[in-house]
Amino acid sequence: MNGIPIARILGFEIRLHLSWLFIIAIVSVTVAGRLSAFQPDIAPAISWAVGLIGSLGFMLTVIAHELAHAILARRDGSESTTVIVQFIGSPAAVDVMASTPRAEALVAVAGPIVSLGIGSILVALAFAVIGVAPALGPIADVLFIVGALDLILGAVSLIPAFPLDGGRLVRAAAWARSGNARQGSRVAGIVGRQVGRGVLLLGVVVMLVNNDPISGIMIGLIGWFLMATARSIDRWLFLDGLVAGIRVDEAMEPHLETLSPQLTLDTFAAGILDGSVGPALPVVRDDAVVGIVGAAQIRQVAQRNWPATRTEDVMVGLPDLPVTSPEESLTVALERLRRSHLDGLPVLDGSALRGVLTRRSIAAILHARAEAEGQAL
C-alpha cells in the first residue's frame, strides 16, 4: 500500500506519501530563510527548528484537506478507511465516483473549502499578531507562509482537470446535466486536456517572453501531466466499458490451491511469486475461508525467514478480509479489489469457496474482450 502510516483519525488510517520528505524539506528551507532575513541575528538552529515546525504544521493542514474528502465520501457510502496524503491531487480521483452528481461535487469541494478556510484564518491571524505584538514577527511570518501555502493549495485544487478536485467538479456538473456518469467523466477528460494545453502554452510563454526557462519548464511539465491524466481517463472509460456486464464467476480463477494457516512460507511462497500456483491463495481452516496470502504479503518476509514463518502470520484475515460473490458485478468487485490493495479476493457462495478473483484473471478476460472487439489494451 502506498504511503507510510502515521496516525489513525476518525476511523481513517492516515498514510503519508514519500513525496512529503521533499515537501517538508522545501517548506522548512523557505520558512528558515524568511526568518533569517527577518531577524539576521537569529540562531541558525532556532530558524531551522521553526522552519520544521512550520512545515509540519502545513502537513497537518493538508491532512485536514484529505480528511474532508474522506469524511464526505464515507457519508456517501464509501467503505475506504485509508487516506493517502499527497501534496495535491489523487491518482484515484479518476476512477472513484460518488453515488450521485451532488455527492460527487460535495466530496470534491470539501478539501479546497477546508484549505481555503484554514489559509484565510492563518493569514488573518498573522496580520493580527504582527499588529498587536511586532516582536512576535517571526511567528507571524510562519503563520503567513503556512496560510499562503494553504490558499495556494485550495486555489490550485480547483483547477478543472484531473487529478485535481476541480476535475471532479467538472465531472459532477457534466454528470448532472447528461444524467450519465460515464459522460461526465468523458467531459471532464476533454476539459482537462484543454486546460493542460493551456498550461503547457503558458509555460512556453513564460520561458520565451519572460526569459525564465526554469519556471517555464516547471509550468510546462504541469501542463503535460494534466494532458497525460486526461488521456488516462479515455483509457479508464475504455476499460470500464469492457468490464460492464461481466460477473465475478466469469472472471475468477476457480481452481487455485488452498493453504492451511499452519503451513510455513517455504512450502509455497516461491510459487506465488512466480505465479505458478497463483498470485493469491485462500487460507482455509475447517472448510472455512479465514484469510488470503498474495505476493504483497510474501515480499514482506525475507526469504531466509520463510521456514520459520507460518501462513497465519502474514495472511490478511478476518474481519479485514474483503470478499466477493459469484453473482456480483465485476465492476463492483474490481473497485473493492483496487481499494484493498490485495492480489486477489476470495469468491464465496455463502460460506463455500468458489474461487479467487485476481488481477491476473481480470486482465485475462479484459484482453479476451478487447481482442473480440478488435482492440488492443
Q: What is the pLDDT of residues 341-357, one digit of tens each?
A: 889 999 999 989 999 99
CB 212 within 8 A of CB 189: no
Question: To which H or E segment does residue 265 belong?
Answer: none
What's the pLDDT score for residue 375? 66
Please report the pLDDT score of residue 372 as a whole number. Answer: 77
Residue 36 — very low, low, confident or very high, per pLDDT cuts 50/70/90?
confident
Q: Tell me the C-alpha distance between 12 and 20, whole Å.
A: 19
User: Which pLDDT score is estimated for 216?
Assistant: 85
Across 362-370, average pLDDT: 87
339 grid coordinates: 481499494
Q: In what order do the strands lie in the sheet with 12-16?
A: 4-9, 12-16, 82-85
**Does 154 score more than 90 pLDDT?**
yes
3-state secondary structure 184-228: HHHHHHHHHHHHHHHHHHHHHHHHHCCCCHHHHHHHHHHHHHHHH
Least reliable range by pLDDT among 83-97, 295-309, 317-331: 83-97
- pLDDT tens by residue, 206-247: 888 888 788 788 888 888 888 888 888 887 787 778 888 899
Count of Cβ atoms closer than 10 Å to residue 92 Cβ: 13
Strands 352-358 and 344-349 turn out to be antiparallel
pLDDT of residue 87: 66
The pLDDT value recorded for residue 138 is 74
Confidence of residue 89 (pLDDT cuts 50, 70, 90): low
Q: Residue 124: what pLDDT?
A: 96
Q: What is the DSSP letter of 303?
A: G
pLDDT digits (tens, 9 = 90+) for 113-147: 999 999 999 999 999 998 888 877 778 888 888 89
Mean pLDDT, the chain, as a whole number? 87
pTM strictly above 0.75: no
Q: Average pLDDT of 322-335?
A: 91
pLDDT band at 100 (very low <50, low <70, confident <90, very high): very high
Q: For residues 355 and 254, is the Cβ–Cβ distance under 8 A?
A: yes
Residue percentage of the chain with pLDDT more than 90:
47
Q: What is the pLDDT of residues 241-266, one digit of tens each?
A: 888 889 999 999 998 899 999 999 99
The pLDDT of residue 364 is above 70 = yes
Average pLDDT over residues 276-284: 92
Examine the pLDDT at 302 and tell me if it is beyond 90: yes
CA distance 357 to 244: 16
